[in-house]
Amino acid sequence: MIIYVTGGVRSGKSRFAMDLALRKSASPVYVATSKIWDEDFAERVKRHRDERGPEWTSLESERDIHLLPLAGKVAVIDCVTLWLANLFAASEYDVEKSLAAFKTEVDALAAIDATLIIISNEIGMGVHAETAAGRKFTDLQGWANQYVAAAAQEAILMVSGLPLTLKSIS
């Protein structure tokens, strides 16, 4: 089962996803998809780590998330934006290759017997990207978000800390 949680920066996505995971499991898994790019980002990652208690198992993978030991687990995958940036860089900034690799991973994740809470950013709702590469990535992110949302059984949009249900298949 995939539960998709999206929204803008600081909309409450991670907190909501983590609370949901803890309601579904006494020992959830947190999958971090990010590289540590700079000191500011390292501090942000540390803050996220500190928020999680000892009940959490943490896994880190920049790509190939579907290869992690997630079967039978409740896992928060945080987040599509960073995961997609890793795929985008690995494909030498080719949108089609990046999207194809992402779709392959999502399809493989959907086949795992697990509850996967996948977090993503709605970057297309923000400022128009200044560079051509930024605009390509914004398009890529939008298409990737649509793909995960279509594969998900539930989709939630976070706005100002409030969850708005977009999709719920019972």
Helix (H, G, I), strand (E, B) or coil at 81: helix
Cα→Cα distances 79→51, 68, 69, 130, 132, Å: 16, 15, 17, 23, 23
Q: How many Å apart are CA 155 and CA 20, to the nearest integer?
A: 13
Q: How many Å apart are CA 150 and CA 6, to the nearest integer?
A: 13
Beta bridge partners of 75: 29, 116
> Could you give the residue numbers annotated as active site?
48
Phi, psi at residue 5, to the nearest 5°?
-125, 120
Q: How many Å apart are CA 28 and CA 108, to the nearest integer?
A: 20
Buried b (16+ CB within 10 A) or exposed e, 30-41: bbbbbeeeeeee
